[in-house]
Chains A and B, each alone.
Chain A
Amino acid sequence: MDFAWSEEQQAFRREVIRFAQQELNENLIERDLHEEFSWDAWRKCAKFGIQGLPIPQEYGGGDADMLTTVCGLEALGYGCRDNGLIFSINAHMWTSEIPILKFGTEAQKKKYLPKLVSGEWVGLHAMTEPMSGSDAFSLLSRAERKGDRYVINGSKTFITNAQNAEVIIVFANLDPEKGAAGITAFILDKDTPGFTISKKLHKMGLRTSPMAELSFVDCEVPVENLLGKEGGGQTIFTVSMEWERICIMASHLGAMQRMLETSVKYAKERRQFGQAIGNFPPISTKIADMDIRLETARLVLYKAAWLKSQGKHALREGSIAKAYVADACIQQALDAIQIHGGYGYMTEYQIERELRDAISGKIYSGTTEIQKKIIAGFHGLSDVPSAAPARREQG
């Protein structure tokens, strides 16, 4: 086992932190208040190479392995306080770039990936519907083959990046009689007639990341915009979620470290009863808990990333990391607020926003309850077939 980052990864980490701290945190309190996405920060991230990190060089990406990608995203989460921007970037990478990279034709990769990597285009996937959230594969959107085109009808909700997207990967059922096996993915351009952003949505946290409902009315896409195979939507979705759950939580690690350091600094500086509050066990113990939480969260997440970097699958480990880090980040924010007392509750100190942003981690990319359902499934429990043995330790 090697727990050390290479010299190159350490240098990369430092460079991402420097870039993020200098370039990405402007006017954040105001932007959070007014739900403003920063195109300037988005473009700077793309120019730096964030959006293209794991994409092969031939499509304009950085060709980074999974661990290096996680290293970069953790550093981004540490240096950039705009968790909404980071959320938008992650949604773009794991639900549009990766599905196209893994399941797209060469023509699709050449058409879409360079512009997604450069940040010129924003991508998203449209999966969740008003009546299908956790039960994602019960979606009601329908696709029908008509000659050399597919016609898509349906509505989607909670769609991240909706207002900014050029490229929409939409999931619809092509053969409802087959149930979930009929779900198919299509690449849709935003100018397709019949496609509309039907309603902007407002959120408790991640407010700088746009979200909306989408409507598809007789949207026609050419057959060459089929992503993967007919009926392959379930797998495309699950693969992209496996990537997303690991990578998106890496940025939470960075935020957790930032909250720990901010709390340590405050505990040393803030004086009550004639001494620094950090000298009082209720505070110092909380700091220690925050450190333990960060360290253990890193271990579970790095393990999942390491498996992927070895070319192995990590659906179970990704779900463990997602569930664990999401809870840990929320508790980290609660502890940070408690240590800061009244100041922590004030917008100006920018810690209350961390809590509002962190709560979403238990919901997006599959709720914590769904992660536990997946984990239980690997042990033959829940509604998953009970044949296979629990996954052995890999290595």
Chain B
Amino acid sequence: MTEPGSIKAQLMPFVMENAQSKGINQVSDDDSLTASGIIDSLGVFRLVSFLEETFAVRIGDEEIVNDNFESVRTIEKFVAAKLAAKGEKAATR
């Protein structure tokens, strides 16, 4: 069950609409988004824009790697780490 307002809850509509446009109706947390073609090279940049705008984080060029965007789970983990780092930065100001 996805918690409303969670990272995953905000992420899934984006992922599912991309998946459905490729004829894929179900995406599990560990499915490879790149190997399945749900996210291609341009799609990664659109995903990055989506994450930057939705979660107010900055994603550097060097962070755009498969490890971070391979699956729903890795994206969720990556965003959580970005938000935590952002929180720590704000707390130290």
Interface size of A as a range: 20 to 34
Chain B residues in 8 Å Cβ range of A387: 13-18, 20-21
| Pair B65/A238 contact, Cβ less than 8 Å | no
Question: What separation, in Å, do the CA atoms of A234 and B18 have in the docked complex?
Answer: 18
| Pair B46/A239 contact, Cβ less than 8 Å | no
| Pair B40/A228 contact, Cβ less than 8 Å | no
A18 within 8 A of B: no
| Pair B32/A235 contact, Cβ less than 8 Å | no
Distance (whole angstroms) from the CB of B38 to the closest CB of chain A: 7
Chain B residues in 8 Å Cβ range of A385: 17-19, 21-22, 38, 43, 46
Interfacial residues of chain B within 5-47, with CB under 8 A of chain A in the complex: 13-22, 32, 34-35, 37-38, 40-47
Given contacts A179-B37, A385-B18, A387-B17, contact A238 B42 (CB under 8 A): yes
Convert A218-250 into 0s and 1s, putting 1 for each residue whose CB lies closer than 8 angstroms to a CB of B. 000000000011011011011100100000000
With beta carbons under 8 angstroms apart, the residue of A179, A237, A312 that contacts B58 is: A312
| Pair A388/B64 contact, Cβ less than 8 Å | no
| Pair A238/B45 contact, Cβ less than 8 Å | yes
Chain B residues in 8 Å Cβ range of A315: 42, 45
Question: What separation, in Å, do the CA atoms of A178 and B70 have in the docked complex?
Answer: 13
B62 within 8 A of A: yes
Distance (whole angstroms) from the CB of A352 to the closest CB of chain B: 37
User: Which residue of chain B lies nearest to A98 when distances are taken between CB atoms in the complex?
Assistant: B61
User: Which residue of chain B lies nearest to A240 when distances are taken between CB atoms in the complex?
Assistant: B61
| Pair B17/A238 contact, Cβ less than 8 Å | no
Distance (whole angstroms) from the CB of A65 to the closest CB of chain B: 14
Q: Chain B binding site: helix, strand, loop or mixed by DSSP? A: helix
B88 within 8 A of A: no
Distance (whole angstroms) from the CB of B75 to the closest CB of chain A: 14
Question: What separation, in Å, do the CA atoms of A391 and B49 have in the docked complex?
Answer: 7
Count: A-B pairs, CB below 8 Å: 89
A386 within 8 A of B: yes
Distance (whole angstroms) from the CB of B72 to the closest CB of chain A: 14
Given contacts A377-B46, A386-B21, contact A239 B64 (CB under 8 A): yes
With beta carbons under 8 angstroms apart, the residue of B19, B22, B37, B60 that contacts A311 is: B60
With beta carbons under 8 angstroms apart, the residue of B20, B49, B65 that contacts A235 is: B65
Chain A residues in 8 Å Cβ range of B21: 385-387
Question: What separation, in Å, do the CA atoms of A377 and B66 have in the docked complex?
Answer: 21
Question: What separation, in Å, do the CA atoms of A238 and B45 have in the docked complex?
Answer: 9
| Pair A232/B66 contact, Cβ less than 8 Å | yes
| Pair A137/B41 contact, Cβ less than 8 Å | yes
Chain A residues in 8 Å Cβ range of B61: 102, 239
User: Which residue of chain A lies nearest to B49 when distances are taken between CB atoms in the complex?
Assistant: A391
Question: What separation, in Å, do the CA atoms of A231 and B35 have in the docked complex?
Answer: 10
Chain B residues in 8 Å Cβ range of A312: 52, 58
> Known contacts A234-B40, A313-B52, A384-B46; can you find 20 more A-B pairs with CB under 8 A?
A102-B61, A103-B62, A137-B41, A181-B34, A181-B37, A238-B41, A238-B42, A313-B49, A313-B59, A374-B42, A377-B46, A384-B42, A384-B43, A385-B17, A385-B19, A386-B17, A387-B13, A387-B14, A388-B18, A388-B47
List the interface of chain B (C-beta within 8 A of A): 13-22, 32, 34-35, 37-38, 40-50, 52-53, 58-62, 64-67
